[in-house]
Amino acid sequence: MRFQVLTIVGHAPHPLTGELPSAAQRLAEVVETGAVAEELGFDAYAVGERHAGPFLSSSPTALLGALAARTTRIRLLTGVTVLAVLDPVRVAEDYATLHQLSRGRLELVVGKGAEMGHFDLFGLDEELQWEYQAEKYELLRRLWREENVSWRGRFRPPLTGATTVPRPYAGRPPRVWHGSATSLNSPELAARHGDPLFSANAIQPRAAYARLIAHYRERFEAYGHDPGTAHVGAGSGGLFIADTTQEAVARFRDYYEARVRQTYRPQLEGRPGYNTPFRTIEEAVADGPHLIGSPQQIIDKILGFHAAYRHDLQSVTADSSGLSPAEQTDQLRRFAEEIAPVVRKEAPTTLWQDG
């Protein structure tokens, strides 16, 4: 198993205290946490992209540039790049630049995004979200693999003899994962191209994500790709480690349940992937995607994910649990020292064996 730290750079008032750091402070914390993640031996650090709601992740390229300058080893991922609302030419240029700056450490996770508000913001039709995603990804692939590209599609002006610069580092395009939360569209697109899949594993019951991953693996092989290369990543909810599960529940209950109330969106009730069905801390510990409890309980939960998903990369999030930066660092240190080594041994993977 490989391990990643993910941030979507949330910027909402603390649901219990009302405290809200400045934007400058919050963004600085993101960069500092990336440096800490590298120091602790995590394999990757990912920055999300949101254009609606209480987030500061509208420009992941800027944050990843700062992270490329602060780090030397850790892989830098997106989580996700909202390709459905972006121009593939701009994406090809921006992320190839980051690929060069990081000496090939950059990988993308592309998706249509988890916030519906961004389609209105960019003047796009939400009903066409999957058509946007598929067409724009096809063009992005060509721009990174070919020069003098001529292309015509539905959603942007045609290209004639286009070559985006810079080219990807060492002539090898960044690996692209496909983020998958609720629909079979992303697993299908990933399978068609032989790309890896990244399951959100964030809000719905485990069976919902297992269904998407099973579809991906079935279609991956049907398209003629080696099933041994069908790599899968999985997200998780917030991270809260304590010496015992009882202590974790006692300390985290108020925050978790207040946060559930704060983020509840009644207008999206019944739409999968938006409102968590795990309303209480007990439900979250027992069946939810959150990693809450003793080190052994978290080990068991991740291995439970692995039994369902056979995934290669586990993502953890430390900045969505209402903790101070120092407390987040302590949580990541405990994870790296007490949990990751056990899971690595129990769930080996060939992902990133090339260095």
CATH architecture of the domain with range 2-239+298-346 = Alpha-Beta Barrel (3.20)
What pLDDT score does 351 carry? 98
Q: What is the pLDDT of residues 275-310, one digit of tens each?
A: 677 779 999 899 999 999 999 999 999 999 999 999
Amino acid letter, residue 231: H
Residue of 50, 75, 70, 45 whose CA lies nearest to 60: 50
Query: Taking the CB of residue 18, how many other CB atoms lie within 10 A of it?
Result: 7
Rounded CA separation 188/153 (Å)? 20
Helix axes 23-40, 325-334, angle to 10 degrees: 20
Tokens of 211: 């269904």
The pLDDT, as a whole number, for residue 273 is 63
Distance between CA 262 and CA 255 in Å, rounded?
A: 10
**Angle between helix 60-70 and 23-40 (nearest 10):** 50
Whether the CB-CB separation of 125 and 193 falls below 8 Å is answered with no
Looking at the chain, the number of H-run helices and the number of E-run strands are 12, 13
SS3 147: coil
Instruction: Give the ranges where the chain is alpha helix by DSSP (H).
Output: 23-40, 60-70, 88-101, 117-121, 129-145, 185-193, 206-222, 245-263, 281-287, 295-309, 325-334, 340-346
99's tokens: 């690929």
Q: Name the nearest CA neighbour of 301 among 236, 218, 227, 255.
A: 236
Q: For helices 129-145 and 185-193, what crossing angle results, to 10°? A: 20
What tokens were used for 118? 């961004």
179 - beta bridge partners?
198
Residue 309, token pair as written in the block: 């998903």
Please give the angle made by the CA atoms of 330, 331 and 337, to the nearest 5 degrees.
85
| DSSP structure class, residue 344 | H
Best CA proximity match to 291, nearest among 258, 340, 326:
340
CA 309, CA 197: separation in Å to the nearest integer? 11
pLDDT per residue as tens, the chain (355 positions):
999 999 999 999 999 999 999 999 999 999 999 999 999 999 999 999 999 889 999 999 999 999 999 999 999 999 999 999 999 999 999 999 999 999 999 999 999 887 768 899 999 999 999 999 999 999 999 999 999 999 999 999 999 999 999 999 999 999 999 999 999 999 999 999 999 999 999 888 999 999 999 999 999 999 999 999 999 999 998 999 999 999 999 999 999 888 888 876 666 666 666 667 777 999 989 999 999 999 999 999 999 999 999 999 999 999 988 999 999 999 999 999 999 999 999 999 999 997 5
- Do residues 48 and 9 make contact, with C-beta atoms less than 8 angstroms apart? yes
Pick from 195, 184, 185, 180: which is nearest to 226 by CA?
A: 195
Place of tokens 């991956």: 220
> What b/e string do you get for 115-134 counting C-beta neighbours within 10 Å, with b at 16 or more?
bbebbeeeeeeeeebbebbb
